[in-house]
Structure 1
Amino acid sequence: MPLVSSSIDTAAGRVSHSWSMAVPAARLWWGLTDPEALPRWLGILTSGRLVTGNVVTIEHAENYSCTSRIQECRPGQLLSMTWKFPDEANSHVRIALSPAGETTSLELEHEELGREAVNYLPGWHTHLLYLEALLLEQPRPMDEFWSTYESFAQS
């Protein structure tokens, strides 16, 4: 797990993760945006397409979906979007990729989280761990997601 760093700014309601993935940027972009890949690490894309200006809905659990407006989508480089669950305030996620040969750095920032930031830090850590495993063709069982999350939340 090449987590480079993670941080939380509770006053600003912001979390960030820097991750080094041992895959080319094109493979990482596939994992971030392909409807076939998303359920293996994030959720099921139930509506929309991940292109600038579109609204997408991703189901994270039965009857529990996040709605996002794609603000910027530059394949292989940047995905920026709003993030809204029914029981949370609107927030913003930005994922930037920096390729370096067969390795790609991923920088994730999630802002405007308010008090939810403490839950999102281990949540994104868990999601990125699952994304990395998928990309390395060693997918983790989704039925272990919440126990993995709890291990990060308690550390």
Structure 2
Amino acid sequence: MVQAGRHDDAVALFEFFFCRSNIVPNIISYNTLIHTHNEAARVDDAMQVYHDMLKSMRFSPSAVSYRHLTKGLVAAGRIRDALDLLREMLNQGAGADSLVYNIIIDGYINLDNWGRAFEIFNELTKKCLVYDGVVHTTFIEGY
């Protein structure tokens, strides 16, 4: 449904199964809902899903959760909020994720703020012992 652009239907299914039918959602269900809201340009709704997930305390957000949220925030022009979310991810002990860093780096490159992009990259190299080569591709494509 998400890929077909049927965002409201995907949200309705989530609500039916996990809210009205009292079935406990898993992290994949939450991530799909977050992705759905981002695809529909409803980043505030995606962030609300994240906060609801945190309140439920059934499990912690995954790296994929943070990737979807960061991507949605950067796409909405809220790179500062994305950076705050990165800090929150690290403070919650989720560990550094090179793809989350990459999304933020790409956002700064698109804003033509290369200095900040390199600062974030330097932080990445200190926090992640192994990071995905996609970060290098992002810099090359930016040039």
Query: Could you state the TM-score of these two structures normalised by the residue count of structure 1?
Result: 0.27
Q: Which has the higher helix share?
A: 2
Q: Which is higher, the Rg of structure 1 or of structure 2?
A: 2
Q: Which has the higher strand share?
A: 1
Query: Could you state the TM-score of these two structures normalised by the residue count of structure 2?
Result: 0.29
Q: Which has the higher contact order (CA 8 A, sep 6+)?
A: 1
